[in-house]
Amino acid sequence: MKIFAHRGFSGIAPENTMAAFEKALAIKPDGIETDVHLSKDGKVVICHDETLDRTTNGKGLIKDYTFEQLQTFDAGSKFAPEFSRERIPTLEDLLRLIRQTDLALNIELKTDKIAYLQIEAKVVALLKVYDLVERTIISSFNFSSIAKVKKLLPEISIAALMKDPHTISDLWTRMAELKVVAIHPDHKYLDHDLVDAAQKRGILINAWTPNQPEELQRCFKLQINGVITNFPDIARQLLSKSNGD
Ligand code: G3P
Ligand code: MG
């Protein structure tokens, strides 16, 4: 069972900031999940929403600001005042950090609402520069986006993001065509039949975002492959307990 820190250790630090990534490293999860967009001048930047409003003191769409302009916004105070120095990180900032560890990385391409020009190629190129291709899974709710990634670099691992897998028509045929290593469903829609079907096909299941102890326990019992959680510390403790350590 792999534990991924969702948007970094977002339970205790502002999501998708360097503070959240550093706090995640401190508790040694198996990996970190993050979300990427493009700035107006084409830099790959980290944020969950397409807009700045919820997590920063900026307003409007990320794609309408250059990277330099994005750096003027405070990405931490909305979480807590002591994080006021946090800025929107670049993907490179995170890659530099991950490189110093042995952690896995799950990069979610946020291309389901905005078609960011060449984001797939930019992310792949950066992973090559930082020599992190082998440790990374690229996921997206936009299946064309992960298909593009796979075409650019066949050896990279991709995963299909979805809410309820049962609503995806011809799920397993599509997953086979895409050559995904994993599906990343909402944990609420998991059941034994789905887990069996995935296992039979050699496809992994990493579920988001079980945060409550009982949600995490259910994922462990179902014997999926990974949890993407805001509380990797609690996940680690519960997992050790359920393994009888
Ligand atoms: O990648 C798992 C999860 O992050 C997907 O949903 O909206 O939290 O990015 P969201
Ligand atoms: Mg995400």
What was the pLDDT predicted at 42?
98
Backbone torsions φ then ψ of 227, nearest 5 degrees: -120, 140
User: Who lines ligand 1 at CB under 6 A?
Assistant: 6, 33, 35, 48, 108, 139, 161, 184, 208-209, 228
Nearest ligand by distance to the CA of 187: 1
What was the pLDDT predicted at 244?
75
- Ligand 1 atom with the smallest distance to the CA of 48 is 9
Helix (H) or strand (E) holding 183: strand 182-184
The pTM score is: 0.98
What was the pLDDT predicted at 142?
98
Q: Please state, in angstroms and rounded to a whole number, the distance separating the CA atoms of residues 232 and 32.
A: 10
Q: Please state, in angstroms and rounded to a whole number, the distance separating the CA atoms of residues 103 and 34.
A: 13
Nearest CA, atom 7, ligand 1: 48
Clarify whether 37 is annotated catalytic: no
Of all residues in the chain, what percent carry a pLDDT higher than 90?
98
Contacts of 204 (CB under 8 A, 6+ apart): 159, 181, 182, 183, 198, 224, 225, 226
- Ligand 1 atom with the smallest distance to the CA of 141 is 5
Clarify whether 48 is annotated catalytic: yes
- Ligand 1 atom with the smallest distance to the CA of 110 is 9
What was the pLDDT predicted at 140?
98
Residue 148 is encoded by which pair of tokens?
């593009």
List, for the chain, all residue ranges whose pLDDT scores fall below the cut of 70.
Answer: 245
Q: Ligand 2: distance of its center to the CA of 33 in Å? A: 6
pLDDT tens digit string along 168-191? 999 999 999 999 999 999 999 999
pLDDT tens digit string along 204-236? 999 999 999 999 999 999 999 999 999 999 999
What was the pLDDT predicted at 125?
98
